[in-house]
Amino acid sequence: MKLSTKMVAAASAARALAFAPTSYQARSSTALDASAGLFYSTQTGNTETVAGYLADATGLEMKDIGDVKDSEIAELDTLIVGAPTWHTDSETERSGTEWDSWLYDTLPNIDVKGKNVAVFGCGDQQSYSDYFCDAVGELYDLFEAAGANMVGLTSTDDYDHQGSKAERDGKFAGLLCDEDNQYDLSEDRAKAWVEQLKGEGVL
Residues that bind ligand FMN (CB under 6 A): 42-47, 84-86, 88, 122-124, 128, 131-134, 179-180
Q: Which is nearer to ligand FMN, 129 or 149 (CB)?
A: 129
Residue 67 per-residue DSSP state: G
Q: Which is nearer to ligand FMN, 58 or 85 (CB)?
A: 85
CB nearest ligand FMN: which residue? 123
Tell me the closest approach of the beta carbon of residue 146 to ligand FMN, in angstroms: 24
Q: Which is nearer to ligand FMN, 122 or 139 (CB)?
A: 122
For the chain, how big is the Rg over CA atoms in Å?
20
Kind and range of the H or E element at 62? Answer: strand 62-64
Residue 91 per-residue DSSP state: S
Tell me the closest approach of the beta carbon of residue 134 to ligand FMN, in angstroms: 6
Tell me the closest approach of the beta carbon of residue 107 to ligand FMN, in angstroms: 20
Q: Which is nearer to ligand FMN, 56 or 183 (CB)?
A: 183
Residue 38 per-residue DSSP state: E
User: CA torsion, points 88, 79, 155, 100, in degrees to nearest 10?
Assistant: 10
Contact in structure between 37 and 71 (CB atoms under 8 Å): no
Contact in structure between 142 and 155 (CB atoms under 8 Å): no
Tell me the closest approach of the beta carbon of residue 44 to ligand FMN, in angstroms: 3
How far is residue 185's CA from residue 191's CA, in Å, rounded to a whole number? Answer: 10
Residue 60 per-residue DSSP state: P
80: alpha, beta or left, given left = phi > 0 and alpha = psi -120 to 50?
A: beta
Tell me the closest approach of the beta carbon of residue 79 to ligand FMN, in angstroms: 18
Tell me the closest approach of the beta carbon of residue 140 to ligand FMN, in angstroms: 15
Q: Which is nearer to ligand FMN, 118 or 202 (CB)?
A: 118
Q: Which is nearer to ligand FMN, 87 or 191 (CB)?
A: 87
